A and B are shown apart, each in its own frame.
Chain A
Amino acid sequence: MNGRGRFLLRRAAWALVVVFVVITFNFFLFRVLPGDPAKAGARDPRLSQASIVALTQRFGLDKPVLLNFEAGADPFDSQYFAYLGALSRADLGMSYAFRDEPVAELLGDALVNTLWLILPAQILAIVFGIALGLLAAWRRGTALDVVSLTFSLFMWSLPTFFLAILLLVFGASYLDLPTGGKVTIGAEYASFWEELADIARHMAMPTLAFTLVLLGEYMLIMRSSVLDIFSEDYILTAKAKGLSTFRIIRDHALRNAMLPMVTLVAINLGFTVAGAIQVEEVFSWPGIGDLTVEAISQRDYPVLQGAFLLIAVAVVLANLVADVVYGWLDPRVTHA
């Protein structure tokens, strides 16, 4: 096996270990919280003792947490191993709040909605962020640099929910855009394109909000990264050889300047599966972030546990992808 193959294998194995640790941590995190989950699940003060017992059994909370030490019992007949077993069947349990709804289904629906929102926003932010950062670095010190730098700093530091609300009011008041949701409810569409147009109208402002928030960060990192590269000796050499600025950027600077960007984009991608919580909340976008907020307010532990797991897995996966891309951009890391 060559160096790259070994590198990838090592990374993948490591990612698996991390996911397993997260699963375990996640499991115990929700069991050290105060309050009785059976009661939390039932939410009724008038619950009879019989109902509490029934609910406790329904949620499997009558078993020991980690290992079953009872004489004659299977030592693995415990909540933890039951959870692992269920996970291996992609069963995340039932929601407390939406009692008849499996968690996996809830998360699946929400994830699709979140991807609708974050993928376009990420792509736009990456393209414009990189372009703007590159331009600013290239034209360093000019009005263009100052303006784009100020703009990016402003967007980066603006609280997301505030920006989102401003955009919502602006879009609703001046552009006749809807204030929330994914489609016009109850609308009947003449064609697929009409439906797509409706979704686009709903997506416009949340996507813009999310793009602006991400864009500022990407631009700043890209700009400083390119500036770093510009001070390298090989750029000087390239200049001395008489290459055009365009070729210097394309052939020498861009690839190296992309390294920190890859890390950033990967990490952001992972985290944004958590949904732009604030953006989703303001625009009533039924994604993961919105679901998480609702689960918190309902103290819906199974959903939260599932959401945390999903987010963690997304971050780990995104990092794995970053490692792979890194290895391709900078072959030195595969030999480390």
Chain B
Amino acid sequence: MRRVNRASGLAVVVVLGIILAACGGQTTTSVAPSGSPGASAPSTATGGTVRIGIGGSADSLNPGNGLLSEAYDLYELVYDTPIGMNQQGEFIPELATEWSVAEDGVTWTMTIRDDAVFHDGEPVTAEDVAFSIQLYKDTQDFPYLPSYASYFETIEAPDDTTVVLTTAEPIGNFEANIVFMYVLPKHIWEDVEDPIEFQNEEMIGSGPFALGEFRRREFARLEANADYWNGAPFVDEVIFQTIRNADARIQALINGEVDAVAEVPPTAVPSLRNAENVHLHVADVAAGGSIRDILFNMVAPEDCPREEGGECTGHPALQEVEVRRALAMAVDKQQLIDVALLGLGSQGVGFVPPGLGDYFIGTEADIPYDAAGANALLDQAGYTDTDGDGIRECKAGQDCPTGDLTLRFHYADDIDTAPREAELLQDMWAAIGVRIEIQGLDPDTLTSICCPTFGYDIILWGWGSDPDPGFLLGVTTCAEIPTGYSETGYCNEEYDQLYEEQGTETDREARIAIVHQMQQMLLDDVPYIVPFYEQTVEAWRTDTFSGWLDDNPTFGLAAPENLTVLRPLE
């Protein structure tokens, strides 16, 4: 299954990891303990309740069980992790004050701070950290976290402030595997028989906020943790209120019923721009938004995973890189962004979004829009429109279903803007003599024709990124063709080799170079087109609280970094 659009799991979750940074990762050094003089914020008042309108509701209070971004918003606020991430995408100390790897490359030691306490007053020790990581590793039924914890062979706490982890082989992304390890109180969780069925209603953590009350599908009320090791938040409470309908959410903000709203639909942007006392925040590239992708079925006949149900009925022309490249050149990405997203998106390049900082290859590397060039490329490749119907014919000997470049085109129907995008693509490709037959499908049906079935030609779908580029770069490896994880059937041994290398490369600069090389390879071979990265639009009232962090592009409203520094206006 793929993660698409809002709310659907890992995608968003993980991107949030970047935005949210981690609990307590208060990079703003001016943050002073509550009420202390000399804070540089315009207001020095404390207290008050921040109300945030959101479209969904956390699916579980048990950090192991969470699937939705709304749940991870809570985890980030209520729990600490050993290592956090700041808004620049850098890993920063949280519960672990320092960490290092031994000479052998596989033994990692983290030093755990001794001044953190859980909301019930018990101290946080290395024992709790080790226990939590072990729990995530052992509970395979948890949806996401075991895949991060699985890298660690042994997890031990020799004393109260030290955690020692070993990996089977050197890994280049140790920190990225630790940032979601929410530290649970061992004294509560060790008595839990089945962690999967544990509802965790008390939700005792050590983060800057403690759970006050949670009503599923209605609201979550969080109370400031006055004893937080990194200074208590300035506000007393934060309430996440579920207002499912987007228009109602906007109205609630205008009325002042809520102080902020997440997920502002593009259509509401103009009216909010004119609203009084409302600040509109367009979170830039990769911030909580999804990566859109246009996939080509290019699985080679010899790679077809027949045992796994592979049918491999893709259009033969898509096997040729010239055809795929021509299709990519004919896509006017800016037009897609302007028309389908009303401008609220940024140019896509590949599966490594700009939010990952240095790992992003840069927009200059992208295949530029060039319809004339695309036409020339198809002419050269031997596809010409011989019967004058505007569609190029297949070459002699090619087994095309319709004899010409008529391609099946499916989109995931849970993406609101997909129908519009599909129509735009239809026009763009008609200009180079390629016809598409558009059909929207629900994600389950799409999965069943997609992979590992390979019973499609082109699919418009979406992904979200992990804080580590390794996650999505793994999609296009040969090994993932039979697992159904690879949607395109792309298989390149050289690429697989690089994938292995980046996984064990511990030097950041060297790893960046490999990751760039891999992205370039995908741009050259065109297994997919990434038309854009969606932007997230949020809004807040300017007359209730001050200190909203809007100067950073990769920032989310619900981030601990934001909610811990807000102050009420006098």
Contacts and interface: CB of A to CB of B under 8 A. Distances in A.
Contact of B255 (A54, A179, A293): A179
B110 interface: no
B101 interface: no
B244 A281 contact: yes
B60 A98 contact: yes
B147 A46 contact: yes
B247 interface: yes
A23 B255 CA distance: 46
A306 interface: no
From B59, B60, B414, B485, residue with most partner A Cβ within 10 Å: B59
A182 B65 CA distance: 27
Contact of B140 (A50, A180, A282, A286): A50
A43 B143 contact: yes
A283 B445 CA distance: 31
Contacts of B247: 165, 168-169, 282
Given A44-B147, A299-B443, A99 B239 contact: no
A310 interface: no
B306 interface: no
B444 A299 contact: yes
A181 B218 contact: yes
What interface size band does chain A fall in? 35 or more
A168 B59 contact: no
B143 A186 contact: no
Given A51-B141, A180-B248, A284 B445 contact: no
A295 to B, nearest CB: 11
B251 interface: yes
From B213, B237, B257, residue with most partner A Cβ within 10 Å: B257
A284 B144 CA distance: 29
B216 A101 contact: yes
A101 B444 CA distance: 23
A141 interface: no
A40 B243 contact: no
B199 interface: yes
A180 B216 contact: no
B241 interface: yes
Contact of B248 (A39, A43, A168): A168
A50 B137 CA distance: 13
A33 interface: yes
A98 B51 contact: no
A182 B217 CA distance: 11
A58 interface: yes
Nearest to B449: A34
Interface in B1-17: 1-2, 7-10
Given A44-B144, A179-B248, A185 B60 contact: no
B34 interface: no
Contacts of B51: 185
A97 interface: yes
Nearest to B194: A100
Nearest to B219: A185
A44 B241 contact: no
B49 interface: yes
Given A54-B141, A165-B247, A282-B245, A180 B443 contact: no
Contact of B1 (A39, A281, A284): A39
B242 interface: yes
Given A40-B444, A43-B67, A100 B196 contact: yes
B377 interface: no
Nearest to B414: A297
B252 interface: yes
B448 interface: yes
B253 to A, nearest CB: 9
Interface string B140-160: 110110110000000000000
Given A40-B1, A169-B251, A282-B245, A100 B197 contact: yes
A173 B248 CA distance: 12
Contacts of A97: 59, 67-68
Contacts of B1: 39-40, 43-45
A186 B244 contact: no
A217 B197 CA distance: 46
Contact of B448 (A34, A180, A294): A34
A39 to B, nearest CB: 6
A94 B59 CA distance: 13
Contact of B444 (A35, A99, A173, A286): A35
A286 B217 contact: yes
Nearest to A185: B219
B223 to A, nearest CB: 10
A60 B377 CA distance: 54
Contacts of A294: 56, 217, 244
B76 to A, nearest CB: 19
Interface string B546-569: 000000000000000000000000
Contacts of B248: 165, 168, 179-180, 282-284
A261 B443 CA distance: 42
Interface in B363-382: none
B143 A185 contact: no
Contacts of A176: 255
A35 B449 CA distance: 9
Interface in A138-170: 165, 168-169
A100 B141 CA distance: 12
Contacts of B60: 98-101
Interface in B154-199: 196-199
A54 B217 contact: no
B221 interface: yes
B219 A33 contact: no
A302 interface: no
B230 interface: no
Q: Which 9 A-B pairs have the closest CB atoms?
A: A35-B444, A34-B448, A179-B252, A99-B65, A185-B219, A286-B217, A100-B199, A179-B248, A51-B140
6 contacts: A100-B60, A100-B62, A165-B247, A178-B252, A186-B213, A290-B217
Interface of B: 1-2, 7-10, 49, 51, 56, 59-60, 62, 65, 67-68, 140-141, 143-144, 146-147, 196-200, 212-213, 215-219, 221, 237, 239, 241-245, 247-249, 251-252, 254-255, 257, 414, 443-445, 447-448, 483-485
